[in-house]
């Protein structure tokens, strides 16, 4: 038994060394800042190790899958290496197509910011950074930088135990609604199926949704309406590589809820593209309840429900979900001299 444990340890160490070498080999191909190159599928594996190593999880927007999908809508996501850390540059299609740069490191350095803002100035770009994870900003000099909350980009974290058990007065209305929902739609007419692999039936369901998607006519939602179908198609295209999962709920064999799921790490899953038939009362909340139960059983303790993008109705709704915490982000600007 002791011999087996010894060999297991040696095997694990060998894998870690090999993974580190692979990461080092890949990062050697990254140009030094201010030079950039495209972020490609070949970068997914080593970047995921970097994402975990730097403690950037469970931020969903800088997870490799979302980098490759949401931040690469214009196919211009670029990476660079600055003082041993990774810097990304992309067109933010949800913010007037502005060029945004995010330095990604365990602890953001003042010297790195100085170089980035010098680059922005030299290229006549807006002197501000958006969606910077607050966790990496703790050591920055507040006398040099204006650091403000990027509230529209906060990520909502839901506790799977809270959302599935629904104990306490804060969830009393939800408990009542879920019991009423299950009485109205018993197992004989309702099926909630969790797909560990996105098969052709699930892909076709999402594609059908795109073709019949009821667009939100609110001005602040219009850009998302244009972008999300592109993101859904990309997620479908790479679903097997990204190990995407999905929950599909049917009532009387008709699909009334679709949601795509990504495991960000061993503790957290991101919920992507959650779409429901709003003619079914409480179907959205029932979907969250089912996701929480399924993910809890799979050892996942948290669900990342992404941003609200500053859309008033979406923010109100996501707050009503009773998130257990937020992943905060910052906007950084140089202080006037």
- Bridging pattern class, strands 329-334 and 129-133: antiparallel
Contact between 242 and 254 (Cβ < 8 Å): no
- pLDDT, tens only, 298-328: 999 999 999 998 888 889 989 999 999 999 9
pLDDT of residue 211: 74
Is it the case that residue 96 has pLDDT exceeding 90?
no
Percentage of the chain modeled with pLDDT above 70: 88
- Give the pLDDT band (50/70/90) at residue 218: very low
Spell out the SS3 assignment of 106-122.
CCCCHHHHHHHHHHHHH
Q: Which is higher by pLDDT, 196 or 2?
A: 196
**Domain boundaries defined on the chain:** 1-30, 31-154, 155-306
- Give the pLDDT band (50/70/90) at residue 228: confident
- Measure the CA–CA gap between 271 and 293, rounded to whole angstroms: 14
Q: Which CATH architecture has domain 31-154?
A: 3-Layer(aba) Sandwich (3.40)
- pLDDT, tens only, 234-265: 999 999 999 999 999 999 999 999 999 999 99
Q: Where are the alpha helices (DSSP H) in 195-308?
A: 200-211, 222-237, 283-297
Is it the case that residue 151 has pLDDT exceeding 90?
yes
Q: Is 3 exposed, middle or buried (0-12, 13-18, 19+ CB in 10 A)?
A: exposed
Give the phi and the psi of residue 247 in degrees, each rounded to 5. Answer: -115, 125
- In CATH, the number for domain 155-306 is 3.40.630.30
- pLDDT, tens only, 155-165: 999 999 999 99
Same fold, 31-154 and 155-306: yes
- Encode burial over 216-230: b for 16+ CB neighbours within 10 A, e otherwise: eeeeebeebeeebbb
- Measure the CA–CA gap between 113 and 132, rounded to whole angstroms: 12
- pLDDT, tens only, 1-52: 444 454 454 444 444 444 554 555 555 689 999 999 999 999 999 999 999 9
pLDDT of residue 133: 97
Average pLDDT score over the chain: 89
Listed in sequence order, the residues at least 6 apart from 85 whose beta carbon sits closer than 8 Å to its beta carbon are: 54, 103, 104, 105, 112
- Measure the CA–CA gap between 260 and 203, rounded to whole angstroms: 10
């Amino acid at each position: 038994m002791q011999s087996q444990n010894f060999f297991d340890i040696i095997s694990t160490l060998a894998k870690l060394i090999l993974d580190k070498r692979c990461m080092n080999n890949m990062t050697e191909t990254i140009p030094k800042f201010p030079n950039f190159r495209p972020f490609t599928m070949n970068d997914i594996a080593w970047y995921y190790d970097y994402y975990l190593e730097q403690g950037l999880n469970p931020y969903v927007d800088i997870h490799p899958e979302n980098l490759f999908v949401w931040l690469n809508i214009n196919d211009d996501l670029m990476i660079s290496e600055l003082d041993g850390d990774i810097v990304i540059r992309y067109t933010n299609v949800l913010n007037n197509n502005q060029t945004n740069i995010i330095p990604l490191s365990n602890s953001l350095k003042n010297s790195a910011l100085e170089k980035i803002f010098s680059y922005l100035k030299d290229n006549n770009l807006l002197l501000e950074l958006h969606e910077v994870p607050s966790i990496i900003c703790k050591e920055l000099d507040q006398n040099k930088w204006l650091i403000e909350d990027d509230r529209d980009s906060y990520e909502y974290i839901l506790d799977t135990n809270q959302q599935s058990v629904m104990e306490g007065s804060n969830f009393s209305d939800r408990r009542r609604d879920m019991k009423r929902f299950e009485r109205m739609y018993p197992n004989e007419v309702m099926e909630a199926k969790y797909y560990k692999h996105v098969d052709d039936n699930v892909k076709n369901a999402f594609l059908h949704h795109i073709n019949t998607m009821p667009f939100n006519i609110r001005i602040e939602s219009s850009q998302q309406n244009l972008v999300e179908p592109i993101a859904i198609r990309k997620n479908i295209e790479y679903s097997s590589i990204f190990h995407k999962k999905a929950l599909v709920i049917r009532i009387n064999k008709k699909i009334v809820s679709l949601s795509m799921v990504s495991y960000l790490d061993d503790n957290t899953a991101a919920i992507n593209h959650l779409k429901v038939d709003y003619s079914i009362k409480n179907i959205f909340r029932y979907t969250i309840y089912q996701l929480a139960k399924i993910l809890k059983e799979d050892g996942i303790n948290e669900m990342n429900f992404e941003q609200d993008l500053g859309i008033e109705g979406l923010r109100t709704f996501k707050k009503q979900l009773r998130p257990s915490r937020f992943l905060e982000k910052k906007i950084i600007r140089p202080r006037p001299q």
